[in-house]
């Protein structure tokens, strides 16, 4: 490389000369000009025969991390461990090993084609200077990889070497990278760091095997996911972005969130858990979308609690006079209402920007499907609607097999009858079937767990009967009052539920 550095100063002088030649070339006949230029390039190449290629970390005005950069980073991990002297270390897959990558301002060599082609990789970061009175309070980092090689290897590098680097890098990326669970940061202030998502390692153990639901329904979902994964060409052929929407709906505790985890594990995808109430406005929402990577599931939980049917955000609770006074003294409240609109969300799902990246699944979960705007869940946006409901015999059998290791038992018949009479959530069944230690220190066996479940089912049946009686009584009173006072105002209950649910989260 000293050879390269030495030639650098000469290189700039030659570039100036080249410029003069180019200007002079204007006054020569075309063929002569061309000839001179070719001779000149040949001449300069003798003194500085190296070519540089830069691979910046971000593409499109820093909107998105470059896939090429990630692939090169991953490729260099294997090379740099043995050659670089300035290394960075991170935990690898399953947190069991350390993965090393090249540190900044370091350089490694790589040989290709049986050692016939030698290239140099360096990792650099630069800080762009921000004006003193900029609204951006901190400088931004620009990181990039630089590839240097001799011009005689140009074709080999461009046609074969880079292809090899990108392919090996992508494969290593999939092999080494732990899957991630992302959540959006509530960025109320101008975000100069550009990163709107934080992540932890995704470690949820749910799978379709542990999911309690009818086997046919399960198979149907798995087939759908499989077809999606293999559908790159198909989507391109029919002219649709490579993405799919799933709407999971049903009462609390029926396995919606568990299914999202099972889907991510089955597909080997990352999860982006989008908290809509923390998104400032539609443009931030778009930015979040652009920052998601392919092979991912973007999930919005309890969508009915995040967005009003009319497209306006839920009204904030009325503030007390004291709170208003405090706010006027302290200035603008920190927790400002989000301005994401229904149309912003619709664009997020299938607007032009939604096609960036490809291979993405969008999942909405809700307890109240009937409260959602039809535009939000129409096919094309939410392609597949999946109902998760109360526990059935098939669901119970999955639990019995997974939790207790049994496929048959004399108590199954009684449980089947009770499941037909009463609505119990899979979450409640799972709780009864968990092996527990009794107060006398005895570990429960399968029999005890099943009896536990029967007691829970009988109790649920009793409660349901009491509730039905109370409801009948209330209805009778209400209908009497209606005759005297006119109709009551309805529609509070589910709103209250959303409020409670968010608070409990």
Ligand X SMILES: Nc1ncnc2c1ncn2[C@@H]1O[C@H](COP(=O)(O)OP(=O)(O)OP(=O)(O)O)[C@@H](O)[C@H]1O
Q: Which residue, judged by CB position, is nearest to Mg ion in the bound state? A: 257
**Smallest separation, CB 431 to ligand X (Å):** 8
Q: Which of 44, 70, 80, 258 binds ligand X (CB under 6 A)?
A: 258
**Smallest separation, CB 365 to Mg ion (Å):** 6
> What is the contact mask toward ligand X in residues 429 to 448, using x (rule: CB under 6 A)?
-x------------------
Return the one option of ligand X, Mg ion, none that residue 253 interacts with (CB less than 5 to 8 A, by type): ligand X
245 binds ligand X (CB under 6 A): no
Rounded to the nearest 10 degrees, how much is the dihedral formed by the CA atoms of 241, 243, 249, 252? -140
Q: What burial letters (b/e) apply to 49-58, b meaning 16+ CB within 10 Å?
A: ebbeeebebb
Window 94 to 113, contacts with ligand X (CB under 6 A): none
**Smallest separation, CB 180 to ligand X (Å):** 20
Q: Where are the alpha helices (DSSP H) in 177-316?
A: 215-229, 232-238, 256-267, 282-291, 303-306
306 binds ligand X (CB under 6 A): no
**Smallest separation, CB 387 to ligand X (Å):** 11
Q: Contact 182/270 with Cβ under 8 angstroms? A: yes
215 binds ligand X (CB under 6 A): no
254 binds ligand X (CB under 6 A): yes
Exposed / middle / buried, residue 284 (Cβ in 10 Å: 0-12, 13-18, 19+):
buried
367 binds Mg ion (CB under 5 A): no
> What is the contact mask toward Mg ion in residues 149 to 188, using x (rule: CB under 5 A)?
----------------------------------------
Rounded to the nearest 10 degrees, how much is the dihedral formed by the CA atoms of 143, 148, 151, 157? -80
Q: Nearer Cβ to ligand X, position 209 or 323?
A: 209
Q: Which of 169, 245, 255, 344 binds ligand X (CB under 6 A)?
A: 255
Q: Is 193 left (phi over 0), alpha (psi -120 to 50) or beta?
A: alpha
Return the one option of Mg ion, ligand X, none that residue 36 interacts with (CB less than 5 to 8 A, by type): none
Whole-angstrom distance, CA of residue 272 vs CA of residue 182: 5
Q: Contact 299/308 with Cβ under 8 angstroms? A: no
Please give the helix or strand (H or E) that residue 244 lies within, else none.
strand 243-249
Please give the helix or strand (H or E) that residue 98 lies within, else none.
strand 98-102
Region of 180-188, 247-255, 324-332, 333-341 interacting with ligand X (CB under 6 A): 247-255
Helix axes 412-421, 446-485, angle to 10 degrees: 10
Q: Binding residues for ligand X, per CB under 6 A?
A: 210-213, 252-258, 367, 426-427, 430
Q: Binding residues for Mg ion, per CB under 5 A?
A: 256-257
């Amino acid at each position: 490389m000293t050879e390269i550095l030495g030639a650098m100063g000469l290189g700039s002088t030659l570039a100036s000369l080249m410029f003069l030649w180019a200007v002079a070339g204007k006054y020569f006949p075309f063929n002569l000009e061309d000839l001179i230029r070719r001779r000149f390039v040949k001449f300069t190449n003798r003194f500085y025969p190296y070519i540089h290629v830069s691979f910046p970390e971000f593409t499109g005005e820093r909107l998105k991390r470059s896939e090429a950069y990630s692939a090169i980073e991953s490729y260099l991990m294997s090379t740099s461990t043995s050659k670089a002297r300035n290394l960075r270390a991170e935990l690898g897959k399953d947190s069991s090993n350390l993965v090393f990558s090249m540190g900044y301002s370091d350089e490694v060599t790589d040989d290709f084609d049986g050692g016939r082609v030698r290239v140099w990789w360096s990792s650099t970061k630069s800080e762009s200077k921000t004006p003193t009175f900029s609204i951006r309070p901190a400088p931004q980092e620009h990181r990039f990889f630089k590839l240097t090689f001799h011009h005689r290897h140009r074709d080999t590098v461009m046609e074969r070497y880079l292809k090899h680097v990108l392919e090996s890098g992508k494969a290593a990326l999939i092999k080494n990278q732990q899957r991630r669970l992302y959540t959006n940061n509530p960025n109320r202030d101008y975000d100069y760091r550009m990163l709107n998502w934080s992540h932890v390692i995704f470690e949820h153990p749910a799978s379709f095997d542990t999911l309690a639901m009818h086997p046919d329904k399960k198979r149907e979902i798995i087939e759908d996911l499989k077809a999606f994964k293999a559908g790159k060409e198909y989507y391109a052929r029919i002219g649709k972005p490579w993405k799919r929407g799933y709407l999971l709906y049903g009462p609390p505790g029926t396995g919606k969130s568990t299914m999202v985890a099972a889907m991510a594990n089955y597909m080997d995808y990352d999860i982006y858990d989008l908290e809509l109430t923390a998104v400032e406005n539609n443009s931030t929402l778009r930015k979040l979308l652009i920052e998601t990577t392919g092979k991912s599931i973007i999930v919005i939980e309890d969508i009915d609690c995040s967005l009003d049917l009319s497209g306006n955000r839920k009204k904030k609770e009325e503030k007390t006079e004291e709170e208003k006074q405090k706010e006027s003294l302290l200035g603008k409240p920190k927790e400002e209402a989000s301005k994401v609109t229904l149309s912003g969300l619709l664009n997020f799902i299938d607007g032009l920007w939604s096609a960036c990246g490809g291979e993405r699944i969008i999942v909405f979960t809700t307890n109240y499907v009937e409260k959602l705007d039809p535009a939000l869940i129409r096919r094309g946006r939410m392609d597949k609607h999946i109902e998760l409901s109360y526990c059935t015999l098939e669901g119970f059998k999955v639990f019995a097999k997974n939790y207790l290791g049994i496929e048959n038992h004399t108590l199954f018949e009684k449980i089947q009858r009770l499941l037909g009479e009463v609505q119990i959530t899979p979450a409640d069944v799972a709780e009864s079937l968990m092996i527990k230690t009794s107060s006398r220190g005895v570990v429960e066996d399968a029999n005890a767990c099943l009896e536990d479940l029967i007691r829970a089912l009988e109790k649920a049946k009793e409660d349901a009967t009491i509730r039905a009686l109370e409801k009948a009584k209330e209805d009778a009173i209400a209908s009497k009052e209606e005759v005297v006072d006119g109709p009551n105002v309805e529609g509070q209950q589910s709103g209250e539920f959303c409020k409670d649910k968010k608070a409990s989260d």
